[in-house]
Amino acid sequence: MHKNERQKLIKQIITQYPIHTQEDLLAHLQKENVDITQATISRDIRDLEIIKVIDENGETKFTMYNASQTENQNEEGKLVNLFNDVVTKVEHVQFLTIIHTLPDNASLLAAIIDEARLPEVKCSLAGFDTVVLIVSDEARAIEMENYFNSIWQKQTNEQIEN
């Protein structure tokens, strides 16, 4: 199966079924006779901008990042939207700004931060649920922490008001 066909099928599966893990996704793909490796699934998830969100039962599940919502936005607008969907905590340690995300969302967030080309950020590193931003000094790390917390708190306040 070609990449485009496989990714179309992945979108369809994510939309139709509650997929909680990459193993769940792999099982659905195998039912469709798709032979795929874990590394390929990970790349497809990143390419398709699939994120994990908390469902109505408090469990994480895969969902398509709302591309139609971000299509006409600049990189910083995409960053703000994704940030509000996946971030759980922001802090700094010396010259590092550390952003904690819902599981399996750090890579996509780091990629969007890189695309936004924030001048303070020298480098981003992503793990499973943590993004580390390297900046030039502690003052810049505090600026970044404050910037991201203002985005996050604005969204939190809007949710409380609604």
Tens digit of each residue's pLDDT (9 = 90 or more) over 16-42: 999 998 999 999 999 999 988 888 998
Q: How confident is the model at residue 117 (pLDDT cuts 50, 70, 90)?
A: confident
Q: Report the domain count for the chain.
A: 2
**pLDDT score for 85:** 82
- Work out the mean pLDDT of the chain and round it to a whole number: 84
Q: Are residues 52 and 103 in the same domain?
A: no
Same domain, 109 and 143: yes
User: Do 100 and 133 have their domain in common?
Assistant: yes
Residue 153 has pLDDT above 80, yes or no: no
Comparing 22-31, 51-60, 103-112, 128-137, the range with the smallest average pLDDT is 51-60
155 shares a domain with 106:
yes
- The CATH number of residue 12's host domain is 1.10.10.10
Same domain, 32 and 112: no
List of E strands, 6-147: 50-54, 60-64, 87-93, 96-101, 121-126, 130-135
Q: Which two tokens stand for residue 65?
A: 């990042």
Range of the domain at 86: 73-161
Percent of the chain whose predicted confidence (pLDDT) is above 70: 86
What residue type is 90 in one-letter code?
V
Let me know whether 83 and 36 are in one domain: no
Read off the pTM.
0.61
Residue 95: predicted pLDDT? 95
